[in-house]
Structure 1
Amino acid sequence: MKKQLLLATAVAGLMTFGGAAWAQNVAIVNGKAVPKARLDSLAQQIARTGRPVTPEMQGQLREEVITREVFMQEAEKLGLSASEDFKVQMELARQTILIRELFADFQKKNPVTDADLKAEYDKFAAANGGKEYKARHILVNKEDEAKAIIASLKKGGKFEDIAKKSSKDPGSGANGGDLDWANPSSYVAEFAEAMTKLGKGQMTDAPVKTQFGYHIIRVDDIRTAQLPAFEELKPQIAQQMQQQKLAAFQQGLREKAKIE
């Protein structure tokens, strides 16, 4: 009776130990355990990309880590892990992973706050708020040519037709000089200054010189700037600010490094 009790206890202990071991491993391949941590790590990598790890995908990942173990064992058997090429590639992979972790650690410790995002949005709104202009222009290389076009327009020439025929601006010329709705800050200073002096339906009386040549400008309409709401732009602003912070961190490390 005592022997039977001891045997039962031993069997129960083995079953408990075996269950714990299997819980820690995905499988045993050729006598070598494949730890569950590998599957979890692979699932985390996929989750970081924004893809959900479904139960079906868990099964696929299990097959993936088992297949990798089979291939790894064969490569080890052939002695490939001892080659210089493998060692160099491993070092590069180690560097890549460490650098990725460094950047992730920095971003975790230096998050972009809601206050940062709102301040950046306010700067954007200040630079792009106010009035928007729906303008047309004709761009030519010489002042005399621009003056001649202005004279022709004053005599009844059609702005759109002359723009299509004479404008050197490849973007708007084919569309009759149409620049669509834009904030004055979108243009070079001389162009913006001349345009904002015009009322709806007015045209410049003299050619406007910029670095691109000579412009004849007409304002077709004016409206209050229609800016996207803060919540709409918030994800884009957050991404941009995170990238800027990370770039500054990288540049700072580079500048502090002693390079000989």
Structure 2
Amino acid sequence: MRKLLTLSLLAATLAAPAFSAQGIQVNGTLVPQARVDAFVKQMTAQGQPDSPELRNAARDRVVMTELLRQEAVKKGLDKSPEYKSELENVQSALLANLYVRDYMKSHPISEAELKAEYEQMKSQMHQKTYHARHILVKTEAEARAVIDQLKKGKKFEDLARARSLDTGSKDNGGDLGFVDPAQLVPEFANVMTKLAKGQITQTPVKSQFGWHVIQLVDSKDADFPPFDQVKAQLEQQVQGKRFDAFLNQLKTQAKVQ
């Protein structure tokens, strides 16, 4: 029994791939450790934590891929037209991706460019946000009836809960909270931004959704994140614009028939 167990362990040892600092020996073929490291890097980039379990899984994946590659070579698939065609596609995509990375590295974005992009973003954002309520109904006549009831002392919140068709705000008395006018349909935003604090529209406002009665509760200066908080996002944005311009230049100069 002991002899059989020893032979089994020996056979398992001989069959298992050998691991070293240089890589993994699989049936006498050395698979570089860099291939395992690349798989680990890919997984950690997708959010998986680096761990012994992940590295073991990476080694298993690399070993299995190498075993399948060896079987494919034995069958002559590396000489097939399909392999050669797919290999050309992979090589083209790889070289293109390497060029993109090299372009980004050799064309760094300056601090001045990032700050200019930041100021442009700020200028495009509304300087104020508005806290509004509204009551949405189907017809102009219904909206005028709501306005009449408000003039007689009915509470805006109560009428919104009873009559508004906007299911997202009616239970809150028509309250939309603080909103950027750019997030609203223009007909609504144009009227809302002209109201004084506490004022209610005296004529119904028509939009694609129906007829609105609007109350401006309050307004305040818009919050804009500090430069350092959005710097990384700005860098990607500026790099993207610059590379798009470069691609367009390549297209216009290329001879494609």
TM-score (norm 1): 0.72
User: In structure 2, do the counterparts of structure 1 residues 28 and 224 end up closer, same or farther at CA, with 3 Å as the change threshold?
Assistant: closer
Aligned match for 2:122, one of 103, 116, 125:
125
Alignment: residue pair count: 239
From the superposition, tell whether residues 61 and 215 of structure 1 become closer, same or farther in structure 2 (CA, over 3 Å). closer
**Is 1:113 equivalent to 2:96 in the alignment?**
no
Return the alpha-carbon distance in structure 2 between the equivalents of residues 128 and 170 of structure 1.
Answer: 28
- Asked whether the 8 Å contact 1:26–1:62 carries over to 2, the reply is no
The residue type paired with residue 78 of structure 2 is: S
**Contact 1:129 1:227 (8 Å CA) reproduced:** no
Matches of residues 152-171 of structure 1 in structure 2 within 5 Å? 152-171=149-168
**1:159, distance to aligned residue in structure 2 (A):** 1.9
Shift of 1:58: 6.1
> Deviation of residue 203 (structure 1)?
0.8
Question: Unpaired runs of 5+ in structure 1?
Answer: 1-22
Q: 1:245 to 1:132 in 2, by over 3 A?
A: same
Residue matched to 1:81: 78
Alignment of 1:222 with 2:202, yes or no, is no
Task: State whether residues 134 and 219 of structure 1, in contact with CA within 8 Å, keep that contact through their aligned partners in structure 2.
Answer: yes
Q: Give the partner amino acid of 1:201.
A: G
1:209-257: CA deviation from partner (whole Å, max 9, x where unpaired): 3454432110112222222222222233333333444444445444554
Contact 2:132/2:176 (<8 A) preserved: yes
The alignment-based identity, stated in percent, is: 42
Q: Distance in 1 between matches of 2:111 and 2:46?
A: 23
What secondary structure, in the 3-state scheme, does the structure 2 residue paired with 1:216 have? strand
Larger Rg: 1
Query: 1:127·1:185 contact (CA, 8 Å) conserved in 2?
Result: no
| Code of the aligned partner of 2:228 | E
Question: What displacement does 1:56 show?
Answer: 7.9
**What's the offset of the Cα at 1:181?**
0.5
Q: Which residue matches 1:26?
A: 23
Contact 2:126 2:181 in 1 (8 A): no
| Residue deviations 1:4-28 (CA, integer Å, cap 9, x gap) | xxxxxxxxxxxxxxxxxxx994254
